[in-house]
A and B are shown apart, each in its own frame.
Chain A
Amino acid sequence: MSQSFESVVQSLSTPRAFRAMMRHLLVIAMLIVMLYPLFWMISASFKPNQTVFADTGLIPREFTWENYSQGWTALNYGFERFFFNSTLVAVACVIGNLMACSITAYVIARLRFVGRNFVLGIVLLTIMLPHHVLLIPQYIMFSWFGWVNTFWPLVLPKFLATDSFFIFLMVQFIRALPIELDEAARIDGCGPVRLFFHIILPLTMPALITTAIFTFVWTWNDFFTPLIYLSAPSMFTLPLALRAFLDSTGTSSYGSLFAMSLLALGPIVGFFFAAQKYLVEGISTTGLK
C-alpha cells in the first residue's frame, strides 16, 4: 500500500520537478542571451583600446581604467559638464511634471466644475498625439523667444502639464481614494486648494513616485528634443555628447566610447534597482514603457 502510494507520488512529482527545472533553464538561457551584450560592453570598457575587439571574453585579459579617464576628457568639455546638463534638465522636468500634472489631475478627479468632461476628453485625446505634429511650430516659437540653445524648450512644457499620460495616471489614482476624505475636510471648512495640498497630495505618493521615475528616465534618455534645440557643445546633454563622441572617434577608441556610454546609463540602472516596485506597478497599471 505505502509503496504503491510512494510510486504514485514519484511518477507525479518527478516529471513535474523536471519540467520546472527545464523552465528555469530555458528562462535563464534567454536572459543570458539578452543581457550578454550589456555585460560584454561593461567588460570591454575595461580593456585596452587595441584589444577591445580581439579579446572577446567577458573577463578582460588586460585590465585598465584608462578608457574612463581618457573618455571623460575626450571632448571639448569634460563629461562633468554633460552630466550636469542632463541632471539639470531631468530634475527640472521631474519637478515640472510632479507639480503641474498632480494639480491638473486633482481638479479633474475631485472637483465638480463646469467643463470637467471637456478637460478630461482633451487629456485623453492628447495622450496618443504624436508630438511630431507640434514640433515645427514649437521650434519656430521657441526660436522667436531666443530659446534655441537654452534648456527652456525641454523643460517649460513640463510645467504646463503637457504630459497627458501622467495626468491620466494620477486621475486614476486619485479617483480610487475614498471620497469621504473630501467630505469630512469640506465640512471642517477646508477649501479645494488646502484639501489638495494637505490631504490628497500626501496620499498620492505612489503615483507621484512612478511619475517622477518615468519622467526622469525618459528625459535622461531623450535624444530627439535636445538634438533639435541644443547645438552648442556647452549645452549638450549626455545623449548628444555621446553622439558627438561617436562622430569624432569613429571606431578608433571604442573602449572610451563604451566607458562613457555606460556611465550615462548609471542613474537609470540606479533607479531600476532602487525603485523596481514602482516601476513594475507603474507599467502594470498604465502601460508605460
Chain B
Amino acid sequence: MATLGAMAADKLGRRKRRQRDDTRIAWLMLTPWLLGLAFITAIPMVASLYLSFTDYSLLSTPRWVGLNNYIQLFSDRRFSKSLDVTSRYVFISVPLQLLFALVLALLLNTGMRGLRFYRSAFYLPSLLGASVTIAILWKQVFGRDGLVNNVLSVFGVDGISWIGNPGTALYTLVILNIWTFGSPMVIFLAGLKQIPKDLYEAAKLDGASAFDRLIHVTLPMLSPIIFFNLILQFIGAFQAFTSSYIVSNGSGGPVESTLFYTLYLYQQGFTQFRMGYASALAWVLLLIIAGFTAINFLLARYWVFYGDKR
C-alpha cells in the first residue's frame, strides 16, 4: 500500500517535472516567434498608434498633435473619396465574386466528369490575380484599343477607354477581383463534399424538388463556409493595392476614381512622408476592418446554420 502510494507520487512527480522541462524548452523553441512578436508586430503596433497622434516626416522628431490627424480626416476630401472608392470596390466585387464561386461550385458538384481539370483551370486566375503582370494585362484589355473594344467593334460598337474613363475605371478592377473567384470556389467545393448524402435522400423522399433541396439543404449546410469566405474576401478586398497602383501609375486616377484606401495611405506615407497622418489612416483601416468583421459575426447568428445548435 505504502509502496503503491510512493510509486504514484513518484509518477506524479515525474510528470510534473516533465511538464516543467517542457515549459523551459517550449519557450526556448519559441524564441524566433517571440522576437517576431516583439519587434515585427507588438512594438510597431504601439509605435504606429503613438505616431498617429503626431506630425512626423522622418527628418525631424515626432511632434505631438493630439487628435489633430484624426480630426483632419473628416475634412480631407481625398480621404472620403478613397473610402468611397474602396467601399464600392468591396461591396460590389465581393458579393459577385462569391456568387460566381457558388454557382460554379454547384454546377461542378453535379458529378461532372473532368471535375479536377475544371477546378484547376478556374483556380489559375486566383494564383495570378495579384501579380503586376495581370494588372498590366488589364490595362491593355480595357484600354482604348484593347481586347474588349475589339470584341465590341464586331458588334459595331465603338467603345471608350474603360481604364481611362473615371466612370468605368473602378469597375474594370471590380471585374479583376471577380475574375479570381477560383479560390472561394475551391473552398465551396470542399464544403459541398461534406454535406451528408442521406439529407438529400430524405428530402427527395419527402417530395422536395431540386430547387427546394438547394434552398433547404445545400445552402443552410454550406452557410458556415459562405460566412468564412465572406469574411476572408472582405478583409482581402479592403487591402487591395497592386491593381489600382499599376492601372493608374500610382496616382489613383483618372480623377481619383481608382484611389484605393491603401493607395492613399501609401501616397501619404511614402510620397508625402506624412508618417503621422499615414499611421492614423492605418488605424482607421484597422478599425473599419475590425468593425466590419464584428458586424458580420453578429449578423451570422441570423443566417449561418450550425448543425449542433451551438
Q: Which residues of A contact B (CB under 8 A)?
A: 20, 23-24, 26-27, 30-31, 34-38, 40-41, 53, 56, 99-100, 103-104, 106-107, 111-116, 119, 122, 126, 128-130, 132-141, 143, 157, 159-162, 167, 186, 191-193, 196, 217, 221, 223-224, 227-228, 238-239, 242-243, 246-247, 251, 254, 257-258, 261-262, 264-265, 268-269, 272, 276, 279-280, 283-285, 287-289
- With A133-B48, A223-B241 as known contacts, state yes or no: A261 contacts B120, CB within 8 Å: no
Residues of B with C-beta under 8 A to A100: 32-33, 36
B107–A27 touching, CB < 8 Å: yes
B212 interfacial contact with A, CB 8 Å? no
Q: B4 in the interface, Cβ–Cβ < 8 Å?
A: no
- Contact at B36–A223, with CB atoms within 8 Å? no
For residue B195, CB closer than 8 A to chain A, the reply is no
A289 to B19, CA, bound (A): 38
Known: A38-B137, A160-B36. A247 touches B249 (CB 8 A): yes
B interface list, Cβ under 8 A from A = 18-19, 22-23, 25-27, 29-30, 32-33, 35-37, 39-41, 43-45, 47-48, 51, 58, 104, 107-108, 110, 112, 114, 118-128, 130-133, 136-137, 139-141, 143, 145, 147, 150, 179-180, 183, 186-187, 189-190, 228-229, 232, 235-236, 238-239, 241-242, 245-246, 249, 262, 265-266, 269-270, 275, 278-279, 281-283, 285-286, 289, 293
Residue of A nearest to B137 (CB): A41
Contact B118 A23 (CB under 8 A): no
Name the distance in Å between A224's Cβ and chain B's nearest Cβ: 5
B187 touches A287 (CB 8 A): yes
Given known A-B contacts A113-B19, A223-B242, A128 and B133 have beta carbons under 8 A apart? no
Contact B104 A130 (CB under 8 A): no
| Contact among A26, A129, A285 with B41 in the assembled complex (CB-CB below 8 Å) | A129
Residue in A130, A143, A221, A280 whose beta carbon sits within 8 Å of that of B186 in the complex: A280
**A289 partner residues in chain B, CB cutoff 8 A:** 126, 130, 180, 183, 236
- Pairwise interchain contact B186-A112, C-beta atoms closer than 8 A: no
Residues of B within 8 A of A27 (CB): 104, 107-108, 112, 118
- The answer on a CB contact under 8 Å between A136 and B132 is no
Q: Per a CB cutoff under 8 Å, which of A36, A161, A262 touches B133? A: A262
Additional pairs, 10, CB under 8 Å, beyond known A122-B37, A246-B139, A283-B183:
A23-B107, A107-B30, A111-B26, A130-B282, A133-B286, A136-B275, A137-B51, A140-B58, A221-B131, A287-B228
Tell me the bound Cα distance from A129 to B30 in angstroms.
20
How distant is B130 from chain A, measured CB to nearest CB, in Å? 5
A141 touches B39 (CB 8 A): yes
Q: Are A287 and B232 in contact (CB under 8 A)?
A: yes
Whether A284 pairs with B190 at a CB distance below 8 angstroms is yes
- Within the complex, which residue of B23, B123, B143, B278 is in contact with A279, where a contact is CB–CB below 8 Å? B123
A41 to B126, CA, bound (A): 17
What are 15 sample pairs from A and B whose C-beta atoms fall under 8 A apart? Answer: A23-B112, A31-B122, A41-B140, A56-B150, A106-B29, A107-B30, A132-B286, A138-B40, A141-B39, A160-B35, A160-B36, A192-B22, A228-B270, A238-B132, A280-B119
B127, B128, B187 pick with most chain A CB within 10 angstroms: B127
Chain B residue at minimum C-beta to C-beta distance from A268: B127
Q: Which residues on the B side are within 8 Å of A35 (C-beta)? A: 121, 124-125
Q: What chain B residues lie within 8 Å of A280 (beta carbons)?
A: 119-120, 123, 186
B245 touches A223 (CB 8 A): yes
Task: Flag if A104 contacts B33 (CB, 8 Å).
Answer: yes
User: Looking at B26, B29, B39, B266, which has the most chain A CB atoms within 10 Å of its CB?
Assistant: B26
Say how far A40's CB is from chain B's closest CB, in angstroms. Answer: 6
With A132-B262, A133-B48, A288-B183 already in contact, the answer to whether A103 and B36 are too (CB < 8 A) is: no
CB-CB under 8 A from B150, the residues of chain A are: 56
The interface residues of chain A lying within 8 Å CB-to-CB of B29 are: 103-104, 106-107, 111, 192-193, 196
- Chain A residue numbers with a CB within 8 Å of B242 are 223-224, 239
Residues of B within 8 A of A246 (CB): 136, 139, 246, 249
* CB <8 Å contact, A126 and B41: yes
Query: Which one of B121, B147, B278 contacts A37 once the chains associate, using CB atoms below 8 Å?
Result: B147
Q: Which 6 A-B pairs have the closest CB atoms?
A: A160-B36, A284-B190, A113-B26, A137-B47, A137-B44, A261-B133
